[in-house]
Amino acid sequence: MGLFGNKEDGGLMDVIRCDEQEYLVWKWRPSGGANSTKKENAIRYGSSLRVKDGELAVFVYQQKDGSMQDFIVGPYDQTIKTANFPVLSSIVGLAFGGASPFQAEIYFINLSGNIQIKFGIPYFDVFDPRFLDFGVPTVVRGSITLNITDYKAFIKLHRLINFEIEDFKKQIKDAVTKYVKGTITNIPSQKGIPVLQLETKILEINELIQPKIKESLENDFGVNLKRFDLATIEFDKESKNYHELRRVTAELQTKKMEVELDIDLKEKLMQVEGKNINVYQLDKQTEVLKTAAENLGNMGNIGGGGGEGGGGMNPAGMMTGMMMGGAMGNQMAGMMNQMGQNVNQQNQQIQQGSIVCPKCNTVNPANTKFCSNCGTSIIPPVQQQEQLQTCSNCKVQFPANAKFCPSCGTPANQEKFCADCGTKVATGVKFCPNCGKGIV
């Protein structure tokens, strides 16, 4: 559409309107106009202006002291008159009966529609803070949807002099790229999310990035972010660093599981049959002493013996065995004594009137009928105190359910139990019928 339009467009005057279907900001040009020139921007006073509902027409006048604007909010379909253009009325000369051209750039702004900008960020390295040697190439894709809610703020930021929408979109993409890359790069260290799990945390990452982009678009570009969609986070799974990171991560996870399993097993062993930590430690020390005792039988062969088979008695080996046996005996006695002291201390800590479960030794409140730990029926305190047994060695009385004398360590009622699995064994039996462990 030339400066002097055809008859369909109103004779010698221009018809200024926007026929675009989807747009955010669109610059009006006469037909055939490709660049912003003074000739193109020469608008004839009295031309027809058509602004649809939801649109805004902005007339930008370039003056020596800066640019000025007139705003026409749709719907509007009239000839250009000074009554509706306060700025125009002050700059249009009276020559030629007010029909002389005036210089202005005209922009249409869509106030009711949205614009979607898709973005794609090429491969950039993301590092796991635990393994800084393996930067994994990562690509991100997504889109943003925006609109203009405060057109005066938008125009103030951009001035709309020679405004080009493609340049505007490029600036938006550059800002989005900056915030997306910065956030994803720092997430592993700041949020503790492993690099290899970023693909599965896309919704969480989307929520972290969106507020930053929204603030930037409002402050720096004057537009409103309606929606931010992080579509994909992908790794270059052919890269060497990706495979190396998977390998070291798998090894670390395996070791972590082994440690957790070992801790869990120890905790369960400490709880078996109501054992406390002192009894657990005693069992472990006993196993060590048993192993040493089993090896004493070989001491007699130290240095060789008489005869060809070396089966003769070795005095030096016997003396060594006797010395080690005495040492182990003293250590065992000390362990038993320490256990007895621990039991006495625990008994002193039991509140007056409490009831001790005969099965698991759990301390229960007075008047309790069933153990809170194992559910065993509990005998009243008066009857419980009567169930005692006397040590055959030191004659000290102790609870009937105890397996060892707390004073000297002598097995209760001369009964034997497997030190490995706790199974009761008959007198004279050399191996546990349950686990096969040798009986001391």
pLDDT digits (tens, 9 = 90+) for 227-240: 999 999 999 989 99
Report CA 401 to chain centroid distance, whole Å. Answer: 50
Opening angle at CA 397, ends 396 and 400, nearest 5: 140
Residues in the chain: 440
Opening angle at CA 424, ends 418 and 428, nearest 5: 80
Say which range, 59-73, 106-120, 125-139, 252-266, has the weakest mean pLDDT.
252-266
Residue 60, classified by CB atoms within 10 Å of its CB into exposed (0-12), middle (13-18) or buried (19+), is: buried
Element (H, E) at 226: strand 224-235
The contacts of residue 388 (CB under 8 Å, 6+ apart) are: 397, 398, 399, 400
Helix/strand/coil for 162 = coil
pLDDT class of 333 with cuts at 50, 70, 90: low
- In the CATH hierarchy, which fold is given to the domain comprising 115-241? Tetrahydropterin Synthase; Chain A (3.30.479)
The contacts of residue 428 (CB under 8 Å, 6+ apart) are: none
What pLDDT is attached to residue 361? 82
pLDDT of 382 above 50: no
pTM: 0.50
Can you name the residues that pair with 107 across neighbouring β-strands? 27, 58
Rounded Cα distance between 174 and 93, Å, is 44
pLDDT of 261 above 60: yes
DSSP string, 43-77: EETT-EEEE-TTEEEEEEEEETTEEEEEEEESSEE
- Residue scoring higher pLDDT (378 or 283): 378
pLDDT class of 174 with cuts at 50, 70, 90: very high
pLDDT of 385 above 90: no
Instruction: Choose the most confident range, by mean pLDDT, from 301-305, 392-396, 425-429.
Output: 392-396
List the chain domain ranges: 7-110, 115-241
In which region does residue 377 sit, left (phi positive, over 0), alpha (psi from -120 to 50) or beta (all else)? beta
Residue 180, classified by CB atoms within 10 Å of its CB into exposed (0-12), middle (13-18) or buried (19+), is: buried
What pLDDT is attached to residue 414? 58
pLDDT class of 95 with cuts at 50, 70, 90: very low
Residue 58's closest CA among 222, 208, 300?
222
CA distances in angstroms from 7 to 12, 15, 45, 79, listed in the order given = 8, 11, 17, 16
Residue-wise pLDDT tens digits, 144-155: 999 998 888 888
Opening angle at CA 130, ends 127 and 132, nearest 5: 45
What pLDDT is attached to residue 40? 63
Mean pLDDT of 98-126: 85
The answer to whether 236 and 137 are in contact (CB under 8 A) is yes
pLDDT class of 287 with cuts at 50, 70, 90: low
pLDDT class of 6 with cuts at 50, 70, 90: very low
- Residue scoring higher pLDDT (179 or 378): 179
pLDDT of 342 above 50: yes
Maximum separation of any 2 CA atoms in the chain, in Å: 144
The contacts of residue 155 (CB under 8 Å, 6+ apart) are: 58, 69, 222
- Residue scoring higher pLDDT (400 or 50): 50
Mean pLDDT of 290-299: 53
Instruction: Choose the most confident range, by mean pLDDT, from 314-328, 342-356, 364-378.
Output: 364-378
What number of H helices and E strands is found in the chain? 8, 18
Q: How far apart are the first and last CA of the chain?
A: 111
